[in-house]
Structure 1
Amino acid sequence: MQQVEEQQNIKIKEAARILGKSEQFIRIGLQRNIFPFGYAVKMSSVWTYHISPKKLNDYVGGGKQTK
């Protein structure tokens, strides 16, 4: 089994910071399948989120560095 060294998931807070949007904006966009960089899954009454670092990076412009 190959080890993955990169970060597997970006937190909502970090994605919001990178995109300059609110955390709620990111959550709702993922829940409605608007964004191409992650998924939202409702488990009972709780939502869980996955944001792909690679897909988020591609979405914001590839190799663009963010502070």
Structure 2
Amino acid sequence: MGAEIRFTGEGIPVTEAARIMKKDQQFIRQAMIKGILPIGVAFMKEGSKQYDYYISPKLFYEYTGYVYNEA
């Protein structure tokens, strides 16, 4: 039986997700905002015009099959 994969809960940077998926950062951001890339959340704080992004290592793995380990 394979080793169990454990996730820390620390987010994956958009830059790393884009590099791994071979997409540009804007693609990752816009797809998350539109809800078509189910790897985390894009959240706009009240009174802000900018989004914050959280990419879940577990959701990223489920979507891409890639286990992200921060170096």
Using the size of structure 1 for normalisation, the TM-score is: 0.78
Structure 2 partner of 1:45: 49
Which whole-Å deviations, capped at 9, do the CAs of 1:6-34 have from their partners, x for residues lacking one? 25100000000111100000000011111
Taking structure 1 as reference, are residues 62 and 23 closer, same or farther at Cα in structure 2, changes over 3 Å only? closer
Q: Which runs of 5+ in 1 are unaligned?
A: none
* Matched length: 59
Using the size of structure 2 for normalisation, the TM-score is: 0.74
C-alpha distance in structure 1 between counterparts of 2:11 and 2:27, whole Å:
18
Structure 2 partner of 1:13: 15
Write out the 4+ residue segments of structure 1 that deviate beyond 4 Å after TM superposition. none
- 1:23 counterpart = 2:7: no
Root-mean-square deviation (CA, aligned residues, Å) is 1.7
C-alpha distance in structure 2 between counterparts of 1:57 and 1:23, whole Å:
18
